[in-house]
Every structure is written in C-alpha cells, then in structure tokens.
C-alpha cells in the first residue's frame, strides 16, 4: 500500500510551509530517515525526513510552492503501484519514474494559488534569490509553477540555456498608470511600487504580534548607570584573553545575566496569562531577539539564572549563529518565559518592544551612551547610562511587580559583583 508524505508541523506556530527544494525525484529509492525535501517554515528552513521505505512515485507539490500543514506532498510505494491522491476521486497508476514533478501540478491536493494580478510578477523568494545570484532578469521569465508563479527551476533553466538567435517574446507590458489629476480635491491614485508575497516567517510575525496587541500592556522605563558593568566586562575579557579563550563577553551577556537573576528574585515577573489562569514558571528561560534575513527569531537560553557569564556568552553566540542560518531546532526557539530585545548596537537610545505571548514581559534595551551627570559631590561629570523599558501584560503582572523587577535588574548591572553570588 502506498504511503503519502504529508507536510507535518515543524514548529508550534506553523500553519503552512514553502517547499524550497526536493532532494529526491520520482523513481528514486527512499529509505526511512532519508532527507527528501527542504521546507521553509515560519521560523527556519528545515530538512524533512521520510518515514517510509519504497520508491518515490510522484511529487504533488513542486519546489517553490506553498502548502498547508497536513497536505500530501508526495507518495512513496512500490514501482507501478496504484494509489488515490487524498482529496481526489479517481484511482490512478503510479507515474513513470522519469516524470517531472512539475507535470503533476494539476493533480496537487494543495489549494490553488490566486491568479496573478495585472502587472504583478509572481515569483517565489527562492527563485528571486537564485536569479539575483545567477544574474538572471527574473522579469523576463515565464513561470511554470501554480498560476504562472516563477520558481527555482525556471531561473535555473534560463541561467543554463544557450543564447537564442532571436529574442524571446516579451512579457505583456504593464499598463501605464493613469496621470494623476492636479485639480484641487481630485482623488489621487496609489503610488507606484511592487508587491511581494510574505515569507512564512513574516506571516507568523504578523499573526503573533497582531495577537499581542490585544493584550492590555503597559510599559515602565528607567535609566541604569553602566560604569561598573563596563569596567567588569573589560576585566572579564582580559582574563579570558589571558586564558587564550576565543570567548568574549558582551554588554548584552551582562544584560541577560542581570535579567535572569532579577526574574529569580521577582518570580511574579516570570509568568504568563494563559486561558484565564496565571502561570508562574519554575525555570528562567530567556529568549533573545535576533535579527535575521526577512524577520527575526528568538533563541532561548534555558535555566539562564543558573549559568555564569562565560556560559551565557558562548550559548548566546552559538544560538544566534544557528538562528541567522535558520538552523535552529524547534525546542531552541520556543518556550521562553521572558524575552529581551537589544537594539543598542544599532545606536538606538530608547524603544518599546511588543510582547511575545504568552510570556508576561519583554525588556527593550538601548545603547550605553556618555552623558553629563551630577555625582555624589554635586559635580558634573561624564557618566555612562543605558535606558531600559519593560512591556508587561497587565493581566499577569501589576506595575509594582514590573518596577521591582527593574529595580533588581538595575542593581545587578550597577553592582555586577552581585552576579557572582
């Protein structure tokens, strides 16, 4: 009996996935555990393994196409075996091994893509990337994907095709926009530009943050004196260099350490509002927002309050690198009890972060800057200051809880020796 390869949920928030590429073709022998495809989810590009043994009989959803979770992507069975595609009435014999995946697009069980709007170039993100690298003008191509979508194989075919003696037929010209009226009160047309489909990651960001805005949130801001942390960081890095270690501790590592210990001191802040219940977490698992191409991801450092600066620095670096390469496993970017977003490296003094549900808090960290301050002797001196802002879900925590957390957080950075206790 033939087995159907379904698109499984590769991350907790995944609803659909983009088939980036197939590593097997119809006619290939498949064994359990073989990598058969790459799928772009809302969080990362992940390899998909086969759970079946047999021959890859047919691919229903070609590379460059998007499918919902649960969609049958391909079928594996015995050579010549008959099968019925899920959602289709007639039974059919297996396609010949040489059949190309794109030839089966009409029988794909995935929902059909919307027609291409006039003047819009429909193409997959992977096709655009390959076209840019190969120097192919993607706007000159005809797509072979659903609804004429330009996919990777179209670009690769154009990149390797010999130069024709006669020029290819041009694409239909985009109608010129109607001239804008200059009369007072006239309705202006929309500005010119292009429309690009959202990646799976941006779709997830849109859904999650839209949901986050429904929470009754409040923010608290304060300033932190950073002279002691900067001096401690220099001492720690000098000690690591003397040990010939490649590890370097950043200001953000001190921020993570201080936040973790502050959450341990103020456990009410390490909480979430879920289904009209208040969850107080036992572990301190801190998510660190990392900017990647096309969006952001939040790798999670587990039990951060139990780790020293060196361990935090090494783990944060490794997670960030895998996050930028979209190689994080689902358990490495889910389940944070609290999150930190640091834009100080971009020269940002102050900002407010949007909650990352279901956690009740997220800390926004600005840059450390030199400003004039009044010291204990009433003298004006140069001080190093950093602005921090916490966004809290008022259903889970009150203002006093958030204020106590910031008080403890600042105490650890202003007296970093406390991190050793």
394 is catalytic: yes
- Measured between alpha carbons, how far is 151 from 68 in angstroms, rounded to an integer? 18
- Measured between alpha carbons, how far is 374 from 352 in angstroms, rounded to an integer? 27
- Measured between alpha carbons, how far is 379 from 372 in angstroms, rounded to an integer? 10
Give CA torsion, residues 332, 333, 337, 342, to 10 deg: 120
Catalytic residue among 279, 331, 350, 394: 394
Q: List residues bridging with 286 in a β-sheet.
A: 301, 338
CA 20 to each of CA 163, 241, 258: distance values in angstroms, whole numbers, following the listed order: 28, 42, 40
Q: Which among 14, 4, 408 is positioned nearest to 207, based on CA atoms?
A: 14
**Given CA atoms 215, 323, 5, 150 in this order, what sign does their dihedral have?**
positive
Catalytic residue positions, numbered: 394
């Amino acid at each position: 009996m033939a087995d159907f390869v379904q698109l499984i949920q590769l991350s907790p928030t995944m609803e659909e996935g983009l088939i980036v590429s197939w590593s097997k073709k119809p006619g290939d022998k498949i064994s359990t555990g073989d990598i058969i495809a790459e799928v772009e989810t809302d969080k990362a590009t992940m390899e998909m393994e086969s759970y079946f043994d047999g021959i890859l009989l047919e691919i229903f959803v070609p590379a460059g196409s998007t499918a919902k979770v649960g969609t049958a992507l391909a079928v594996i069975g015995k050579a010549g075996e008959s099968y019925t595609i899920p959602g289709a009435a007639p039974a059919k014999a297996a396609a010949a091994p040489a059949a190309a995946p794109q030839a089966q697009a009409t029988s794909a069980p995935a929902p059909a893509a919307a027609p291409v709007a006039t003047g819009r170039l429909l193409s997959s993100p992977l096709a655009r990337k390959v076209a840019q690298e190969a120097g192919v003008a993607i706007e000159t191509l005809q797509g072979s994907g659903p609804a004429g979508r330009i996919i990777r194989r179209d670009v690769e075919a154009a990149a390797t095709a010999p130069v024709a003696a006669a020029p290819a037929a041009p694409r239909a010209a985009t109608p010129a926009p109607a001239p804008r009226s200059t009369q007072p009160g006239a309705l202006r047309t929309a500005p010119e530009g292009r429309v690009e489909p959202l990646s799976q990651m941006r779709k997830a960001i849109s859904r999650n943050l839209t949901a986050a805005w429904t929470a009754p949130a409040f923010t608290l801001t304060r300033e932190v004196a950073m002279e002691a942390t900067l001096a401690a960081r220099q001492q720690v890095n000098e000690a690591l260099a003397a040990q010939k270690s490649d590890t370097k501790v950043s200001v953000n590592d001190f921020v993570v350490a201080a936040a973790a210990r502050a959450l341990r001191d103020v456990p009410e802040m390490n909480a979430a509002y879920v289904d009209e219940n208040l969850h107080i977490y036992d572990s301190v698992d801190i998510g660190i927002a990392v900017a990647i191409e096309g969006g952001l991801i939040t790798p999670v450092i587990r039990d951060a309050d139990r780790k020293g600066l060196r361990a935090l620095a090494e783990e944060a670096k490794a997670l960030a690198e895998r996050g930028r390469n979209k190689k994080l496993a689902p358990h490495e970017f889910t389940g944070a009890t609290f999150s930190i977003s640091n834009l100080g490296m971009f020269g940002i003094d102050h900002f407010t972060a949007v909650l990352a549900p279901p956690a009740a808090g997220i800390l926004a960290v600005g840059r450390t800057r030199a400003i004039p301050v009044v010291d204990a002797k009433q003298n004006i001196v140069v001080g190093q200051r950093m602005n921090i802002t916490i966004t809290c879900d008022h259903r889970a925590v009150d203002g006093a809880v958030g204020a106590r957390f910031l008080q403890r957080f600042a105490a650890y950075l202003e007296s970093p020796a406390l991190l050793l206790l």
